[in-house]
């Protein structure tokens, strides 16, 4: 059985060709699945009965199964989706006045080990399949009650859930193609954002294969500090990352990169850090998104004070940078940035190692 959620339109067309079916049939089925949200071939009423039967014999439309749903007091909704072997990932919907954003996960756990992220604590289990990535949008669209052909509730997608999207490149790009496809969700490239901790070669590939809006998790203004907070920096240090951002902008749907910067009390929130940042991004067209740190048990970090965030912000703004401070949303259900954990059976046994280190100290 093949899962049709695993295919973008090109892939589905090819699959249909192998079955002796015309490209427009693939398009029809693709629209049933993603626009009408239909998983049952029998309900695809404008397909020949013979094709429906043929499909039912070899294929399924199988999204990840939703295990729990939580609703925060501010309208944020979070779903925990089962992805097999006792693992699960989380997807978050964030309603705002002028848009509705879905925050999508790309991996079960994460291998990058950023110091302040709770997903990192779970270690890495595996990449999500295309079906599991696009299945989050498919699921949320239905759970939010969108009628086929009705008004769009999810207007934006950010790949800012669990995992490093560019470390699961091929599956993420196929899923992005489905998000952008007019026969599916029809989102514009500027309304779909990939957030990366800075995998430089994959940023270049993305600029060629599917240049959507880019956010980069910066979090530190110099290599010494970034090496500690975002360990992938040891492989792709800041000067390489800045050069990659400049290259990306040539192909990007927006004329800037968004730098995310988590505000950690006493760690990266000093005035000198802000001044270093201004120097660092001097030739990179960018906007800043300051994220007040969202705590989780034993994180070892505290949220920067509102005062230091305001001071930090003022220094960047005085230097002519555009800065927003991310509003914390959904924190009463642990749905805020960096709080997504799902359930991950850690193949790296990182949590165990941490405990051991702790005990032998
Ligand atoms: N791996 C990708 C996608 C994760 S996006 C990336 O690193 O960009 C989630 C954003 O939230 C990233 O900028 C991440 O660094 C940030 N984040 C992680 N933990 C956080 C926490 N505890 N509080 C606030 N932001 C956090």
Q: What is the pLDDT along the chain (361 residues), one digit of tens a residue?
A: 999 999 999 999 999 999 999 999 999 999 999 999 999 999 999 999 999 999 999 999 999 999 999 999 999 999 999 988 888 889 999 999 999 999 999 999 999 999 999 899 889 999 999 999 999 999 999 999 887 777 889 999 999 999 999 999 999 999 999 999 999 999 999 999 999 999 999 999 999 999 999 999 999 999 999 999 999 999 999 999 999 999 999 999 999 999 999 999 999 999 999 999 999 999 999 999 999 999 888 899 999 999 999 999 999 999 999 999 988 888 888 877 767 767 777 666 666 555 444 443 3
**Residue 320 backbone phi and psi in degrees, to 5:** 95, 10
Are 144 and 227 contained in the same domain? yes
The domain in which residue 284 lies consists of 65-360
Are 44 and 174 contained in the same domain? no
Distance 275 CA to ligand 1 centre (A): 22
The closest residue, in CA terms, to atom 20 on ligand 1 is: 338
Examine the residue annotation and report whether 337 is marked as an active-site residue of this protein: yes
**Residues constituting the chain:** 361
Q: Give the atom of ligand 1 at the shortest distance from the alpha carbon of 196.
A: 8
Are 46 and 90 contained in the same domain? no
What's 13's domain CATH number? 1.10.150.530
Choosing from 60, 77, 104, the residue where a domain stops is 60
Query: At 258, which helix (H) or strand (E)?
Result: strand 257-263
Distance 117 CA to ligand 1 centre (A): 6
Distance 108 CA to ligand 1 centre (A): 15
Residues 208 and 248: their CA atoms lie apart, in Å, by: 9
Choosing from 60, 79, 104, the residue where a domain stops is 60
Give how far the C-alpha of residue 186 lies from the chain's centroid of Cα atoms, to the nearest Å: 18
Are 101 and 121 contained in the same domain? yes
Q: Could you tell me if 137 and 152 are in contact, meaning their C-beta atoms sit under 8 angstroms apart?
A: no
Which of 338, 340, 341, 342 most suits a substitution to test ligand 1, by most atoms within 8 Å of the C-beta?
338
Are 256 and 138 contained in the same domain? yes
Are 31 and 125 contained in the same domain? no
Are 76 and 142 contained in the same domain? yes
What's 216's domain CATH number? 3.20.20.70
Q: Could you tell me if 324 and 288 are in contact, meaning their C-beta atoms sit under 8 angstroms apart?
A: yes
Residues with Cβ within 8 Å of 307's Cβ and at least 6 positions away in sequence, in order, are none
Residues 128 and 126: their CA atoms lie apart, in Å, by: 7
Are 189 and 243 contained in the same domain? yes
CB of 280 shorter than 6 A to ligand 1: no
Are 26 and 126 contained in the same domain? no
Q: How many domains does the chain divide into?
A: 2
Choosing from 21, 39, 60, the residue where a domain stops is 60
CB of 301 shorter than 6 A to ligand 1: no
The model's pTM? 0.94
Name the 3-class secondary structure at 78. strand
Are 172 and 288 contained in the same domain? yes
Are 22 and 77 contained in the same domain? no
CA distance readout (Å), 58 to 3, 15, 92, 185: 9, 11, 32, 25
Examine the residue annotation and report whether 279 is marked as an active-site residue of this protein: no
Are 47 and 85 contained in the same domain? no
Catalytic residue among 21, 66, 90, 260: 90
């Amino acid at each position: 059985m093949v899962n049709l959620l695993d295919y973008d339109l090109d892939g589905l067309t090819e699959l249909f060709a192998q079955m002796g079916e015309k490209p427009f049939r693939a398009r029809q089925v693709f629209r049933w699945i993603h626009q009408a949200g239909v998983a049952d071939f029998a309900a695809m009423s404008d397909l020949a009965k013979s094709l429906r039967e043929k499909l039912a014999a070899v294929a399924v439309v199988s999204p990840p199964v939703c295990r729990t749903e939580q609703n925060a007091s501010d309208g944020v909704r979070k779903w925990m989706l089962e992805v097999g072997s006792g693992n699960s990932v989380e997807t978050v919907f964030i309603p705002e006045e002028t848009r509705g954003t879905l925050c999508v996960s790309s991996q079960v756990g994460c291998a990058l080990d950023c110091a302040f992220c709770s997903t990192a604590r779970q270690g890495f289990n595996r990449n999500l399949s295309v079906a599991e990535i696009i299945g989050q949008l498919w699921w949320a669209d239905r759970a939010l009650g969108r009628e086929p052909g009705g008004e769009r509730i999810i207007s934006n997608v950010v790949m800012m859930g669990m995992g490093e999207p560019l470390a699961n490149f091929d599956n993420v790009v196929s899923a992005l193609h489905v998000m952008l496809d007019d026969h599916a969700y029809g989102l514009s490239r500027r309304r779909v954002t990939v957030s990366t901790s800075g995998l430089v070669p994959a940023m270049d590939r993305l600029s060629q294969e599917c240049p959507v809006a880019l956010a980069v998790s910066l979090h530190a203004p110099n290599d010494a500090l970034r090496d500690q907070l975002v360990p992938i920096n040891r492989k792709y240090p800041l000067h390489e990352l800045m050069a990659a951002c400049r290259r990306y902008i040539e192909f990007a749907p927006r004329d800037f990169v968004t730098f995310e910067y988590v505000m950690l009390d006493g760690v990266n929130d000093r005035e000198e850090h802000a001044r270093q940042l201004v120097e660092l991004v001097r030739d990179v067209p960018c906007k800043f998104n300051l994220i007040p740190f969202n705590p989780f048990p034993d994180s070892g970090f505290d949220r920067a004070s509102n005062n230091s965030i305001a001071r930090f912000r003022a220094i960047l703004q005085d230097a002519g940078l555009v800065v927003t401070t991310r509003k914390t949303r959904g924190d009463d259900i642990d749905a805020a940035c960096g709080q997504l954990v799902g359930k991950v059976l850690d193949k790296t046994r990182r949590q165990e190692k941490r405990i051991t280190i702790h005990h032998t100290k």
